[in-house]
Amino acid sequence: MLSFVPVQRPLTERQHVILRNVARGKTNKKIAAELGISEQGVKVHISRLLERYGAENRVELVNLTGAWPDHSDGQYANAAADIAGIRAGLTKTFRDATAFGESHGATGRAMAVPPPAEVYGGSYPDAKDLLAGVRSLRDVLGEINVALKLARELPADAKVGPIVDAIRARVGAALDESARLDALVDRARADERSSKQDAV
């Protein structure tokens, strides 16, 4: 299957820091003071993040991205919440793509939001790789939203059915990956709890 989703760079460290500060409810002025940049610079970063993830406001941005936690928050402390936020964003994007296709008379395949795949067994990677997988999944959500935004900019007479189908298929694959990562995080957290209990 051909993928038309544009390549998008991962978030920069500064974008991650701004996202975490937005999640903590800090104002643009306070974020700017802490980072030593202008308030306008913070606004530009936030507006680019809103556009990247298809969020309408800061609250939705935090919900869609899970606002990646500091490493000091613990290895898996917020990974499950991040995955849930990404899954909510993927579901929203799927519905937006379907509505866009219908508004343009697309005759693509009718399908509901695919449920995440069940995941059983297998081994899981170390914490660093697992958390990198969650970050990567968040970037995929951003790329899918960019693709949908570009599709919306096509001429009114463009045939968008194949594009909508491709976006929805990509969302389905990302939902499967989110289920896999969620299961791995749950198992890793259970192992971590078990290790702590054994140490006591």
Position 21 scores a pLDDT of 82
| pLDDT tens, position by position, 9-36 | 667 778 878 888 888 778 899 888 888 8
The pLDDT assigned to 197 comes to 66
How far apart CA 80 and CA 149 sit, in angstroms, is 28
8 A C-beta contact, residue 94 and residue 171? yes
- Name the band, by pLDDT with cuts 50, 70 and 90, for residue 120: very low
Q: How far apart are CA 136 and CA 65, in angstroms?
A: 11
Domains, the chain, with CATH or none: 8-62 (1.10.10.10), 69-192 (no CATH)
40 has pLDDT over 90: yes
Distance of CA 76 to the CA centre of its chain: 17
Choice among 18-22, 59-63, 150-154, 171-175 with the minimum mean pLDDT: 59-63
pLDDT at residue 147 tops 50: yes
In the chain, helix, strand, coil percent, each to 5? 70, 0, 30
Q: Contact 182/137 with Cβ under 8 angstroms? A: no
* pLDDT score recorded for residue 186: 74
Task: Copy the structure tokens of residue 137.
Answer: 């999944």
Q: Is the dihedral of CA 55, 18, 31, 36 positive or negative?
A: negative
Task: Residue 148: name the closest of 170, 133, 177 by CA.
Answer: 170
Predicted pLDDT of residue 41: 92
CA-wise closest residue to 64 among 138, 8, 13: 138
How many angstroms separate the CA atoms of 172 and 188, rounded?
A: 24
User: In Å, how far are 76, 80, 122, 124, 154 from 128, measured between CA atoms?
Assistant: 10, 15, 18, 11, 40
> What is the tens place of the pLDDT at every residue in 52-81?
888 888 878 877 776 644 444 455 656 766
Residues 78-113: pLDDT tens digits?
Answer: 676 677 778 778 888 888 888 888 887 765 555 555
